[in-house]
Structure 1
């Protein structure tokens, strides 16, 4: 340590402090200047280390140091450190055990998906997706779906990471901690000190996405039960371990639970495969939301400056309180409203179709329908993490209303007429239809009549005497 740096206080004065080892691993020779700068500003690095939970065990510390070094080496200019997100998602998914499926268990799942395809033929006019069915472990689910999470979260993370780096850069700029870090080849291994901030933002979002994806891998049953299609090419899949865990404690036999969940997965897969505009509509709503991200940098900078880094409780309260949350503009709120309605319509259709297909075969079809509805309404830790990260609610708040609309259409139009509604976005029930399912047909008839009146008016304006639209 430089002779200008005061000796550390505390019970471990005779040897290197864990926080010193961490700073030296990240900052290299610049660590001494950084420590001096922090102490001159009244910050106690040892207290910060204790507040952050830095381990004192040398072996654990070595692992942390190694992870930090890899983090900054791999971050680059990406808004999300995807290697970190991938590794953490795999670690989270493996908590509690995630063994590879035995041939017998894999066969159980594939048989359930095959039976579900047969039963659904009587409940929907949409044919099978044609995708290869899968029986997955949690790790396999992570590997297959992470590309879609990248599509969903990276635009938002890019905007927020830039704002966060700007705020932290102002707060710690040339007169602050960053000013103590040399940026020459012989100084910090990070080179430009601003890279530290970009790497920090990239790592923060990588940790959040990885944590959420890994936790979600322990909750979901397949690739469609959160409403969003998580595979670019739709194919039915079930996570055997999660299905078995959900079946525990229920009155229904595990075989019935597996078949009911298979029906829901297969129904949603058919919808996404044969009505491709639905997937595009859902992801477009997310993109429109992300495109409008704006952050009040002044407010963010004020929040950052007000946080005492030695106060662990204050740090946790600030982060959980949404200090870094984006502002929601009217345009973004409109996109979120469209997304919420679309999610409800997709899951309402799946709920209606899967349950109708199950009723002749599964004695517990109705109780299972209710259990899944309540589970989706409550959400889970992973969905809450994504909501705090990108402001998106993955729960269909109006699932029951949407299911009522599809049930009404089944009664009035039959299976073929109900499914034909998916042929065009303008035919799909809207928010007002969720309020009044019985008025759907009257509203669509009025819309068609209004369109015909418009065509006649245009024809008259253009001088077409027979009243037909010009060719």
Structure 2
């Protein structure tokens, strides 16, 4: 499923957060990674008692009011998102959790150390050397909130701006005296949405980079042993094997984040770039309303119009002028997770017999749109769906077969060398190019880029010098003529 923009709730007073407990129970019974299941989409739909219905609305409104108090007076209440309120609601969702036991910390440290040792045989990228931490859901919330702020703030800010620009000029003038109140309510609404999403995600996530985004603090490899133990209940796998598997995935990602210095910034900046171009389209709403004549209609016709309106999607459509940022983000995440799939499988498959079973469970979780991805769409507005991780993994496998592990990992040296979305779908041409490069004995991709940049700079300098000489000749000719 391709990455797409989510039709976010642009109304600052909408509260729709569905949660189907029956589906969650079913996922828990059939698939331990079904714990990631959930309904996080903006603009949830349902009857009065169903997801997104009156019960959910009143529940969310009650949660918002219960957290108002000090949150309304906090410094963050004036920003695009009331993060104080978000943190309060997230903690309510998490509830009381036990501190991580010393035995759990030791198990995480030993599992990560073992995973790092085995990964050395599967990749040329060295260990990250990061500090190992074992978290509970509350630790996860506290430690990842700074990165969530960076991801969510530009989206919320641009959404508010787009909403105001979309209003008719008369309405904007009328809103002027109430702008402060409206901004505060919009900030609270975003805070409620973020708090609910992060509270649910905290109880289900397994590591500090569960879905390809580095949201844990720099220099930290984090694992949530309690959540992993819960997820392993649905698999016929020893808990220790599950822990080593998840630790290996975290360790592999952190190797990339540490030794590919441009990668983290490119992932986060793609979200920011998308946010800058946010636009709200209400033309379909205006068109629908224009088809109805409201000048003294008879009761029967009025009822017909109401029935027709109920069957229409009248929610504002959210888009971005920077749609390429979404595609780039999807491609990067697919390449990261595909690479992780390959190196983890190679590192563990001969040592842990249940590796294939855990890989399949992980794929099912990813294919069904786990709540990690849906939570991301909830708070950022980009629905990742199921990025082409399997296709990316197959590309990395074929690259390794063609040019070896060292050249495979060297592709990460510069963003210009990475496969594109087209390469993921049709990798043959990309692999042929690598084979051509490998014919050279001393191929150095960074040196090639540096040489190219130097050549372009020299050509630009010559062009500027030529233009300066032409201007000088022209001025001298004019002077002689005068």
Separation in 2 of the partners of 1:217 and 1:418? 34
2:238 alignment counterpart: 253
CA deviations over 1:22-67 (Å, ceiling 9, x no partner): xxxxxxxxxxxxxxxxxxxxxxxxxxxx988769xxxx98x97563
CA deviations over 1:298-335 (Å, ceiling 9, x no partner): 8789999x9xxxxxxx9xx99x9683552233xx2211
1:323 alignment counterpart: 315
2:477 alignment counterpart: none
Out of 270, 278, 296, which is 1:285 matched to?
A: 270
Question: Unaligned regions of 5+ residues in structure 1, if any?
Answer: 1-49, 180-191, 307-313, 465-471
2:77–2:83 contact (8 Å) kept in structure 1: no
- Structure scoring higher RCO (CA < 8 A, sep ≥ 6) equals 2
Question: Unaligned regions of 5+ residues in structure 2, if any?
Answer: 1-53, 293-305, 441-447, 463-482
2:124 alignment counterpart: 125
Q: 1:166 to 1:430 in 2, by over 3 A?
A: closer
- For residue 168 of structure 1, report the CA deviation from its aligned partner: 8.0
**Alignment of 1:136 onto 2:135:** yes
1:164–1:201 contact (8 Å) kept in structure 2: no
1:238 alignment counterpart: 223
Separation in 1 of the partners of 2:402 and 2:127? 25
> With structure 1 as the length reference, what TM-score do the two structures score?
0.70
1:3 alignment counterpart: none
- For residue 82 of structure 1, report the CA deviation from its aligned partner: 0.7
1:206 alignment counterpart: 191
2:38 alignment counterpart: none
Q: 1:426 to 1:447 in 2, by over 3 A?
A: farther
2:123–2:405 contact (8 Å) kept in structure 1: yes
Separation in 2 of the partners of 1:99 and 1:328? 42
How do 1:99-178 residues align onto structure 2 when only pairs under 5 Å count?
Answer: 99-164=98-163
1:132–1:235 contact (8 Å) kept in structure 2: yes
2:122–2:343 contact (8 Å) kept in structure 1: yes
CA deviations over 1:423-462 (Å, ceiling 9, x no partner): 111221222221233432324567999x99x99x999x99
- For residue 235 of structure 1, report the CA deviation from its aligned partner: 2.3
- For residue 109 of structure 1, report the CA deviation from its aligned partner: 1.5
Moved more, 73-82 or 348-357: 73-82
- For residue 400 of structure 1, report the CA deviation from its aligned partner: 0.5
Out of 370, 376, 392, which is 1:380 matched to?
A: 370
Moved more, 413-422 or 70-79: 70-79
- For residue 91 of structure 1, report the CA deviation from its aligned partner: 2.1
1:68 alignment counterpart: 68
**Alignment of 1:220 onto 2:221:** no
1:168–1:301 contact (8 Å) kept in structure 2: no
- For residue 394 of structure 1, report the CA deviation from its aligned partner: 3.8
2:112–2:247 contact (8 Å) kept in structure 1: yes
How do 1:265-344 residues align onto structure 2 when only pairs under 5 Å count?
Answer: 265-296=250-281, 323-329=315-321, 332-344=322-334
> With structure 2 as the length reference, what TM-score do the two structures score?
0.69
How do 1:10-49 residues align onto structure 2 when only pairs under 5 Å count?
Answer: none
- For residue 395 of structure 1, report the CA deviation from its aligned partner: 4.5
1:12 alignment counterpart: none
Q: 1:173 to 1:228 in 2, by over 3 A?
A: closer
2:100–2:135 contact (8 Å) kept in structure 1: yes
CA deviations over 1:158-184 (Å, ceiling 9, x no partner): 011234466789898887xx89xxxxx
1:376–1:396 contact (8 Å) kept in structure 2: yes
1:137–1:240 contact (8 Å) kept in structure 2: yes
1:77 alignment counterpart: 78
1:13 alignment counterpart: none
CA deviations over 1:109-149 (Å, ceiling 9, x no partner): 22111111111111111111121011110100111111111
- For residue 381 of structure 1, report the CA deviation from its aligned partner: 3.6
Moved more, 392-401 or 214-223: 392-401
Q: 1:409 to 1:76 in 2, by over 3 A?
A: same
Q: 3-state SS of the aligned residue for 1:236?
A: strand
CA deviations over 1:334-378 (Å, ceiling 9, x no partner): 111111111100000001001110012100111111111221222
1:212–1:383 contact (8 Å) kept in structure 2: no
**Alignment of 1:93 onto 2:85:** no
2:285–2:314 contact (8 Å) kept in structure 1: no
Q: 1:104 to 1:51 in 2, by over 3 A?
A: closer
Q: 1:224 to 1:300 in 2, by over 3 A?
A: farther
**Alignment of 1:421 onto 2:411:** yes
2:207–2:224 contact (8 Å) kept in structure 1: yes
2:467 alignment counterpart: none
**Alignment of 1:411 onto 2:401:** yes
Task: Give the superposed CA RMSD.
Answer: 3.8
- For residue 272 of structure 1, report the CA deviation from its aligned partner: 0.3
